[in-house]
Chain A
Amino acid sequence: MSIPEVEILLVEDNHKDAEMTIRALRKVNLANKLVHVEDGEEALNFLFANGEFEERKNALPPRVILLDIKMPKVDGIEVLTKIKNDPRTKMIPVIIMTSSKEEQDIIRSYQLGVNSYVVKPVDFESFAKAVSQLGLYWLLTNQSPNLS
């Protein structure tokens, strides 16, 4: 059984934000190979093929990670730290998508090596536009190293 290829890993605890994100990505046809996990712990399990994601041992890493900061259990900053400190995952582009405009969060994320930091707009139209632009840019425009 072949392991399905994953293009986008969406790490988001808020179901409604997740739904709106997926909807926006679907509109530009980028939601087909998307996996949604609901907290940091699950995200790390997915990336490092632990627990329920054990069968992903030999799978290709996702092409881009959309990461929320404020999440229960393991938060986004911690996930980002682990991703950027592990040779297996450090080259995956990570985009922080958060409601926080706090300077400290932005600085901390960039110090850890985030590839992009996006503040989710309240207005849905702006939100949808931001998400679809992000998806298009990171999956189509941007050239990432071949991780296979």
Chain B
Amino acid sequence: MFLKDIPIKQKLQRVIVLIWSLVLVVTCVGFLGYEIYVYRSETLEKMSVVGGMISSNSTASLTFDNREDATEILSALANEPHIVQAALYDANNNLFAIYPQTAGKNTFPSKASAVKYHYVNGHFQGMQPVMLEKKQIGMLFLKFDINALYLRLGVFGIVVLLVTALSWWLAFLLSKNLQQVISTPILALAGAARAVTEKRDYSTRATKYGNDELGYLTDSFNKMLAEAGEFAHQLEEKVRERTLQLQTLNNELESFSYSVSHDLRAPLRAVNGYATMLKEDYGDRIDAEGNRYMDSIIEDAGRMGTLIDDLLAFSRIGRKEVVLQEVDMKTLVSMCLQEMNQDASLARYRIVVSDNLPDCQGDHALLKQVWMNVIGNAVKYSSKRDHPEIYIDYVDDPAEYVYKISDNGVGFDMKYVHKLFGVFQRLHSDQEFEGTGIGLALVHRIVSKHRGRTWAEAVVGKGATIYFSIPKNNLSHEYS
């Protein structure tokens, strides 16, 4: 509809003016029709009265064939300015007398014949018989000018136009004011709704202007707002409360790990240090068994130190924020391999890295930790092979970048795969392979923080494959 998208104020105004115009037009047309009808009837009536009068006056002239008398009777029509021509015909229907005399005879019908009054070229004209004692003795012709009607209609038209313009203007002014009765409460409602959606200000209230349906709507709207505001408030309170709790917990955790790192390591260092000092200073005076005991103390104190360090690293990463950026995984992998090669030669290993390893959106430092751990794992568990092999590849997936690291190492029993990514969970003894059980737990934790997944496949004695994935649309997520 043509009014659909314009503001409600104009909509109401236009509707009012439109209806008003329609009423006005219909009324004017009605009046005009009536006016024409009335004028026509009046004219006809007048013509028959005038015609009747002239007929009865001219019977003697016709009977006695007195043309002068007849002409004089006709000339009395000068008092009727609307009658422009008149003529009398004798019993043989021949022209007998005319009015006005100045008019040429040929402007009159040459023969008389009874015709009702009708409209011809801007005139009404017609013939009526002249009767004497029920006998027709002649005919009267009358021609009536209707310019007067045009004049009247013209005046009427001008009045109609003036009235229309005036009432149009009045309607416009009135509608401009009257539409406010409806539009003001609606606009107030709309304004309040906009304020709420744009500013999330639930304390906004729409003003009520009356007790009609709009007033009821305003009341309901305000009530809904109050409820929504209350809900929002409660929710905010709850979030604030929870955040506070979380912060407290986080602070506790922080001070806990701080004291763990400081207070636990100091005595451990003393155990390790004094045992070493004892061995250095008195080792030659203690027998082989005693020396073995001392070695065990030194070794296990060292192991506990590593354990504490790993645990602290684990909790630190839990608290670390993920900073997303484009990560070139291929470069990252070769960086990790280089770094690991410095610690212990990887020359023995056949390591194949796929050329098409896809980049992803992730935290560079954290993903480096992931690669260090998974590659380190593969290196460790294939170290007892004569020809250890490690393959770093990816799997095509529409939603995720899936990376896989396979080795031909000892593998593990799939029965225990659920324990693989748990903290301190190990599938091999310390005697077989050293470790704290933190490495893959850390991988899982970092990948989860990226909203990715970790999983694994393995065959005992044949090797293992570790998978981890990073979502492709990572940018749209929020991270904690």
CB distance from B361 to the nearest CB of A (A): 24
Say whether, besides A16-B273, A17-B270, A122 and B301 are in contact (CB < 8 Å).
yes
Which of B265, B274, B309 has the largest count of A CB atoms less than 10 A from its CB? Answer: B265
> Interface code A44-78, partner B: CB below 8 Å = 1, 0 otherwise?
00000000000000000000000000100000000
Would A99 and B298 count as touching, CB distance under 8 A? no
Would B302 and A99 count as touching, CB distance under 8 A? no
Q: Does B277 contact A (CB under 8 A)?
A: yes
In the bound complex, what is the Cα–Cα distance between A127 and B275 (angstroms)?
13
Chain A residues closer than 8 Å to B308, beta-carbon distance? 122
Chain B residues closer than 8 Å to A102, beta-carbon distance? 258, 261
Would B277 and A101 count as touching, CB distance under 8 A? no
Chain A residues closer than 8 Å to B351, beta-carbon distance? none
Q: Does B387 contact A (CB under 8 A)?
A: no
CB distance from A38 to the nearest CB of B (A): 14
Would A99 and B262 count as touching, CB distance under 8 A? yes
> Interface code A94-129, partner B: CB below 8 Å = 1, 0 otherwise?
000011111100000000000000001111110100
Q: From B320, which residue of chain A is reached at the shortest CB distance?
A: A103
CB contact between B272 and one of A70, A103, A123 (< 8 Å): that residue: A123
Q: From A101, which residue of chain B is reached at the shortest CB distance?
A: B261
In the bound complex, what is the Cα–Cα distance between A98 and B265 (angstroms)?
10
Chain B residues closer than 8 Å to A121, beta-carbon distance? 269, 305
Would A100 and B270 count as touching, CB distance under 8 A? no
Chain A residues closer than 8 Å to B269, beta-carbon distance? 16-17, 20, 99, 120-122, 124, 127
Q: From B299, which residue of chain A is reached at the shortest CB distance?
A: A123
CB contact between B302 and one of A14, A20, A123 (< 8 Å): that residue: A123
Q: Does B266 contact A (CB under 8 A)?
A: yes
Q: Does A23 contact B (CB under 8 A)?
A: yes
CB contact between A122 and one of B258, B274, B277, B302 (< 8 Å): that residue: B302
Secondary structure type dominating chain B contacts:
helix
The interface size bin for chain B is 20 to 34
Q: Does B204 contact A (CB under 8 A)?
A: no
Chain A residues closer than 8 Å to B316, beta-carbon distance? 103
Would B273 and A124 count as touching, CB distance under 8 A? yes
Would A16 and B272 count as touching, CB distance under 8 A? no
Would B262 and A16 count as touching, CB distance under 8 A? no
Would B273 and A100 count as touching, CB distance under 8 A? no
Chain A residues closer than 8 Å to B312, beta-carbon distance? 101
In the bound complex, what is the Cα–Cα distance between A131 and B183 (angstroms)?
84
Q: Does B44 contact A (CB under 8 A)?
A: no
Chain A residues closer than 8 Å to B268, beta-carbon distance? 122
Would A23 and B277 count as touching, CB distance under 8 A? yes
Chain A residues closer than 8 Å to B59, beta-carbon distance? none
In the bound complex, what is the Cα–Cα distance between A98 and B224 (angstroms)?
60
Say whether, besides A99-B265, A122-B302, A20 and B277 are in contact (CB < 8 Å).
yes
Q: Does B369 contact A (CB under 8 A)?
A: no
Q: Does B180 contact A (CB under 8 A)?
A: no
Would B258 and A125 count as touching, CB distance under 8 A? no
CB distance from B148 to the nearest CB of A (A): 109
Would B272 and A100 count as touching, CB distance under 8 A? no
Chain A positions near chain B (C-beta within 8 angstroms)? 14, 16-17, 20, 23, 70, 98-103, 120-125, 127
Cross-chain pairs A/B with CB under 8 angstroms, 27 sampled = A14-B270, A16-B266, A16-B269, A16-B274, A17-B269, A17-B270, A20-B270, A70-B262, A99-B262, A99-B269, A100-B262, A101-B261, A101-B312, A102-B258, A120-B265, A120-B269, A122-B265, A122-B269, A122-B272, A122-B301, A122-B305, A122-B306, A122-B308, A123-B272, A124-B272, A124-B276, A127-B269
Known: A70-B262, A101-B312. 13 other contacts (CB 8 A): A99-B261, A99-B265, A99-B269, A102-B258, A102-B261, A120-B265, A120-B269, A122-B301, A122-B302, A122-B304, A123-B305, A124-B276, A125-B276
